[in-house]
Amino acid sequence: MASTARSSIKHIREVLARGRLKSAPPTLRRHYSSSSPAPPAPAPASSRKGRLLTAATLGLLIGGGAYASTVDEATFCGWLFSATKLVNPFFAFLDPEVAHRLAVSAAARGWVPREKRPDQPILGLELWGRKFSNPVGLAAGFDKNAEAVEGLLGLGFGFVEVGSVTPVPQEGNPKPRIFRLREEGAIINRCGFNSEGIVAVAKRLGAQHGKRKLDETSNSTPSSTDDVKHGGKAGPGILGVNLGKNKTSEDAAADYVQGVHTLSQYADYLLMLSCSVVEKELLSGKTSRCFVAYEVINVSSPNTPGLRKLQGRKQLKDLVKKIQAARDEMQWGEEGPPPLLVKIAPDLSKEDLEDIAAVALALRLDGLIITNTTVSRPDSVKRNPLAEETGGLSGKPLFDLSTKILKEMYILTRGKIPLIGCGGISSGEDAYKKIRAGASLVQLYTGFAYGGPALIPQIKAELAGCLEKDGFKSIQEAVGADCRQ
């Protein structure tokens, strides 16, 4: 360390010396040589400031490097995640869509911290034959076009869902279409499935899949058959692709089938989820999610005309049958086809929930995602002028409503169908409440938008603490605990 410090100081002196030489008058520079000391010459104020800034920058870089060399990897990783708290507030000054675009670009370029610390064993679980290192995932809508899969999974999510992806590229609804309700910890959006289309997403996922396979074949270290392999075709963690229908399409099922045929080959372990949501006819349209570990059919978006009409019992049953047929006609490896899930909305009546539960049980759906955004406006947001904007509300005000629906669906399905809890999660305690209400996995979106990367390790640590406090040894033991009391 002493030699490093001496060489660093010497380098800074050389930089400062060059700065003094460049700032000296031409007549003095001609007579200056390495064998004679530089004559004193007053430097302009701007030059002095430049030298001070250079010295300070170099000092920070060298000091940071020296600090990093003295700490273990886990400590340094934690420091990087904590440092994002200093950057995240600046996004609040930007237009919401511009901030979102910058965040996706940063993750795509690897300008985000990478989680090097292993997840606590208590957070691991197995679902659909797949190993999840932790139950915390990123919901669809953040990385719509699969641009930042590797960076997002590297943040420490147990799974990441991309999309919605439509067969043909579409712009979505006119801007502005995203509105922050910062004091309420909420967001209203009416994006309307803006997507680059299946072809663009397939190219990206294909490249990621090829890179993953190349890395596996070039790894000379043999792995034991007893080792638990976390992750999928895109790298660590489980990847999901959310398939959607185009606004102008008159055949929603055909759009979803096209998505299954084109993108399911990149689904991790080819698990398939189909998600459907029943909300008011105000919003209609369909989205299908295709996780790297499973695919999801989303018929719950409030921002696509005609989508929520697909959530009635007959419509949903017919739709799921067609998607299942499209999946089953494809050739799968030893791991079999991906699981199918249905995503539902929080604005459903008791009869709607009963219909969805009946279809899920009758067709043996592999899971349900509960819930999408809400078209309702809880009392906590009504006084905000932005609450009058059309679109789906997400974030903290949605938590109680979505958790109530989650618990009801766990009871209606008798705990036979795995559920993913989504809506208003911003802490480990929130995630724990979703799990106790019946969720095996949970998803973030708005909480992540406000909290940034530092929120992920925080939620996982808090969740582990909640499990241990109540005497649970695993996630599975806690699933549906409140429904058994």
Q: Which residues are catalytic?
A: 301
| Concatenated DSSP letters of 455-469 | HHHHHHHHHHHHHHH
Alpha-carbon gap, residue 296 to 241, rounded angstroms: 7
Q: Strands 294-298 and 238-244, how do they pair?
A: parallel
Which tokens in the block code for residue 266? 């990149």
- Give the angle subtended at the CA of 455 by the CAs of 454 and 461, to the nearest 5°: 100
Q: How far is CA 483 from the centre of its chain?
A: 29
Collapse the DSSP code of 157 into the 3-class scheme (helix H, G, I; strand E, B; otherwise coil) and give the result: coil
Which 3 state secondary structure label does DSSP give 45?
helix
Distance from chain centroid for Cα 405: 23
User: Do residues 273 and 339 make contact, with C-beta atoms less than 8 angstroms apart?
Assistant: yes
Which among 185, 319, 170 has a CA at the least distance from the CA of 254? 319
Here the tokens at position 58 are: 């170099």
In the chain the first and final C-alpha atoms are separated, in Å, by: 60
Phi/psi at 197 (nearest 5 deg)? 95, 165
